[in-house]
Amino acid sequence: MSHHTPVAKRHGDRKAAVGSAGRPPLAWAVPGILFFAVFAIVPLAIAVYLSFTEWDGLNSPTFTGLDNWTRLFNDSEFGQAAWLSLLLTTISWAFQTPVALLLGVWAAGRQRSRAFLSAIFFVPLLLSTTAIAILFRALLDPNFGVIQTIGPWLGIDPNVMGSSTGALLVVAFVGGWQFMPFHTLIYQGGARQIPEVLYQAASIDGAGMVRQFFHITLPQLRHTITTSSILMIVGSLTYFDTVLIMTKGGPGTDTTILPYLMYRTGFQTYDLGYAAAVATALVVVATSISLIMVRLSGFGSMRSTREGM
């Protein structure tokens, strides 16, 4: 559907004909909209409503006005969780983007053994998050894990999961390890779309591999970077399972990021009203960041990267 729209716009005279024949009526969207409404909009609306109540899940919710929200802005634990979420998001993005981009560009080529190696890189994405978390937990056991043997060689304290910085970095690393293949795939697709002729022209002009990468590949992948970054950022902001299994928010509360704080408040403390406020805040932040990124990168206007060709 989306790639029909520009055609219709550019050829205004044919718009009527193409429009009525090619575009499905709104009725076709009803099942999708209904599904989205029942499973996304309605729960979201209920969460927003609950954020103005006090509810233990047992009795009926009582309306408490802005109590949860005032508490939210004065809660040092929420502040810490928001900061840790931000930190985790930044670290994840900075770690995953360069590696995934380079791997993706490499995987888009036609080298020998490329397909084979790509298949291996792809494996982490096929594993369950739980399995990965348990696996890394075992590897990082300070007394019996691999870390005890190889940690000192690499200058890593085997007690890495017991230190605040270490635990957060491990969570970022494990998440990156798991999702990098996915972003590699996105970049591979993006890199394959770059017309060969650009590179041919560049080599005739005498540009080497590195210049070609910075002057052709990177600018051409602009929108791919935006797509991948938004997915990464929203993914990191809602990152939960690895924290639950690997650190349980610890040591202390040093990996208690927003989604984990929400879980603990909602499903361990049964303070569902306040948990709903945390959840709503998270939705607002994640949506705003995505919108800002779309706006700033010009991604929203869907201008073609091949303009001028």
Query: Is residue 25 at the binding interface for another protein, with CB under 8 A as the rule?
Result: yes
Cα-based angle 144, 149, 150 (whole degrees, multiple of 5)? 130
Compare residues 34 and 94 and give the one whose CB is closer to another protein: 34
Q: Determine the interface stretch with another protein among 14-22, 43-51, 111-119, 122-130 (rule: CB under 8 A).
A: 14-22
Is the bond preceding residue 31 a cis peptide, omega within 30 degrees? Answer: no
The sign of the dihedral angle between the CA atoms of 95, 96, 97, 98 is positive
For residue 56, the minimal CB distance to another protein (Å) is 7
158 binds another protein per the rule CB under 8 A: yes
Residue 59 touching another protein (CB under 8 A):
yes
Q: Which of residues 26-45 bind another protein (CB under 8 A)?
A: 27-28, 30-31, 34, 38
Output 215 or 248, the one with its CB closest to another protein: 248
Residue 254 touches another protein, criterion: CB under 8 A: yes
Please report whether residue 134 would count as binding another protein according to CB under 8 A.
Answer: yes
- Closest C-alpha to 236, from 280, 190, 174: 174
Tell me the window of 50-58, 120-128, 219-227, 228-236 that interacts with another protein (CB under 8 A): 50-58
Angle at alpha carbon of residue 234, lines to 94 and 42, rounded to 5°: 175
Judged by CB under 8 A, which of 178, 236, 242, 247 binds another protein? 247
